[in-house]
Amino acid sequence: METRRALVTGAASGIGAACARRLAADGVHVVAVDFDPAGLEALEGVETVVADLSDLDRLSELPTDVDILVNNAGVQQVAPLEQFPPERFSYILRLMLESPFRLIRQSLPHMYGAGWGRVVNISSVHGLRASPFKAAYVAAKHGLEGLSKVVALEGAAHGVTSNCVNPAYVRTPLVTAQLADQAATHGLSEAEVLDKVLLEPVAVKRLIEPAEVAELVALLCGPASASITGSSFVLDGGWTAH
């Protein structure tokens, strides 16, 4: 893996930071991208780029000579559909679906030329299931699932794989920030939200750690993954076993 170069988005914290560190530990040259310069500064042993991934016209400025692309950047908005801000819906789809499409599109020529590439899309259990009050997030993740499968079918002849990783709730700033929003929406305390909303559908009653997700990402980027493509790998504590 020492010859590989990876681009990881949303890398300033949470899953993205864990993926950047895990791939770097395998010897991969990691380019960590995020809108948060302070978070990026905390990463060691990786190249960092500050960028707004929702600014689609600026994405072409990011490195395209990458062998591994990890699309992770994301945000959340919790609101009933009739109150969901349209501009926020558009922003979330731009950041979490259109941006991955453009990054994949501009990275594939290098991967095709090398005859090797790995696209890993950090989806969610919400790429496979829906929950109330998360219209934009659920729509974006469902779209990412479909995009990932198309990349798998087109990239197979060129040695490029594409897969989704689908965790349930992970101990990240994105999840912890939801507690207050969910508490207001459901009329519960934040502790009750964690127990009765976030962890209610799962059998394993705990938040997933970012490092657990990063381990699966590393597997999908490694030498044993050549025939693993077009798939969605669920780390949901038994959510979808129902």
Q: How far apart are CA 242 and CA 34, in angstroms?
A: 36
Tell me how far CA of residue 60 lies from CA of 5, 92, 94, 105, 112, in angstroms. 17, 20, 15, 10, 18
- Is the separation of the CB atoms in 120 and 165 below 8 Å? yes
Sheet holding 5-9, edge to edge: 47-50, 29-34, 5-9, 68-71, 117-122, 160-167, 232-235
The SS3 call for residue 160 is: strand
Contact (Cβ atoms closer than 8 angstroms) between residue 213 and residue 166:
no
Q: How far apart are CA 47 and CA 16, in angstroms?
A: 14
Tokens at 124, concatenated: 């969610």
Indicate if 91 belongs to the active site. no
Angstrom distance (rounded) from CA 43 to CA 176: 21
Enumerate the active-site residues. 137
